[in-house]
Amino acid sequence: MKVLSSQIQYGVPLARYTSLGVGGPASALARAAHESHVEELVAWAKGRSLPVVVLGGGSNAVVSDAGIHGLVILMEIQGISVLRETDDYVEVAVGAGESWDRFVEHAVTRGWWGVENMSLVPGTVGAVAVQNVSAYGQSCSSVIVSVRAYDVAQDKFVELSNNECRLGFRSSVFNTDSPGRYIIVRIVFRLHKNGKPQLNRKPLARAVAELRAREQGGSAKAILDTIRRDPGVVRQAEVRAAVIRLRTSGRLLPLPGTVGNAGTFFRASIIPHERFPQVLRTTLLRAGLRTAGALAACRMKLSSPLGVKVPSNRLIVGCGLAGASSGGVSLYPPNCAVLIADPDRGATAADVVNVIRLVRTEVFRRTGMVVPIEPTLLGFSSDELKTIFEV
């Protein structure tokens, strides 16, 4: 513990450790490169009555301007190792601090199917279980076997099965029932060797067709028709390349290195079927026919047993909020579900909070719907969180 104690830093600004690029300092900060570091650092923090906060890639966090009172652990446990392999599948253990996209690339180059649609999702492996990350029809819940974590409440390492993780839509036991209790150190995934491309999302299928047409010639439309008839003709590497092209086009997210962002900030809502008619009536009366029509289209195309999925960007645009901004923070024009922070304009966490309040309050007033946010808010007091989330 003496070695780790000597590596603890104090008053370190956290903006540099988040993709959004805002936030104040940490009372204390340390890096965990091994499981034993986690156990020792938690003991160190408990001995000083300090709360513990874990950061991976910082791609899904907003740190308050006041910073974080407590010990911030930078999760840096890495490694990718095969635990079990058959003719059909492979089970692979991955350190929580490993880059998620590096793991996806590793899997694709070896022909392991199940995560290729989630290429270029920012952040670390540990974070994907917290949010149950999904993209283009693939979800982490379908490939996670188990999660190894340090249970802060019981001061011991535990293994949580897929069911025990309670992986739902952008949710898990780690961010709902027991936030802060578990520090994920490793995840075991089961990937398939004889998988087939999952191209049920139209933008991805079109991107694959366009990519093949550009590389091999021919009509993208004709190629798309062929892919729809037989998705098995598509190689795994083509899927990854198409996803990367979509994510770096500037339409979904800002180009890397341009402005701070946390990916999708305002996530989709799931409206229970029994509540949907009332939401539709409220939207028609307060937001107009066009926005109500967009909701009706969601019921036609995005219904599931859980309810109707309503993308937040449709609500934000429909409520006239596409240009919402505060100081150096604004909504990203091509995709207003994304919030961007411009350091050259002095972006602060207070600006982020102002935009959250504006969007959530106005959408609720016009539709009766509460837009959920995806990132975790860190360092904010309970009173601040209450004022941020009340509508």
Instruction: Supply 77's token pair.
Output: 């446990």
**pLDDT recorded at residue 318:** 93
| Closest among 326, 304, 296, 318 to 371, alpha carbons compared | 318
Can you tell me which residue has the tokens 């780790």?
4
CATH architecture of the domain with residue range 260-389: Alpha-Beta Complex (3.90)
**pLDDT recorded at residue 2:** 59
**pLDDT recorded at residue 268:** 92
**pLDDT recorded at residue 229:** 92
| Contact in structure between 124 and 33 (CB atoms under 8 Å) | no
| Contact in structure between 73 and 41 (CB atoms under 8 Å) | yes
Domain 80-192, CATH = 3.30.465.10
Print pLDDT tens along the chain (391 aa): 555 666 899 999 999 999 999 999 999 999 999 999 999 999 999 999 999 999 998 999 999 999 999 999 999 999 999 999 999 999 999 999 999 999 999 999 999 999 999 999 999 999 999 999 999 999 999 999 999 999 999 999 999 999 999 999 888 999 988 889 999 999 999 999 999 999 999 999 999 999 999 988 889 999 999 999 999 999 999 999 999 999 999 999 998 888 999 999 999 999 999 999 999 999 999 999 999 999 999 999 899 998 999 999 999 999 999 999 999 999 999 999 999 999 889 999 999 999 999 999 999 999 999 999 999 999 999 888 988 888 7
- The CATH number, out of the four listed (3.30.540.10, 3.30.2320.20, 3.40.630.30, 3.30.43.10), of the domain defined by the range 2-75: 3.30.43.10
One-character DSSP codes across 18-77: SSS----EEEEEEEE-SHHHHHHHHHHHHHTT--EEEESS-TTEEE-TT-EEEEEEEE--
Q: Which residues contact 251 (CB under 8 A, 6 or more apart)?
A: 334, 335
**Domains of the chain, residue spans:** 2-75, 80-192, 202-247, 260-389
**pLDDT recorded at residue 169:** 84
Cα atoms in the Cβ-side hemisphere of radius 13 Å centred on 335:
22
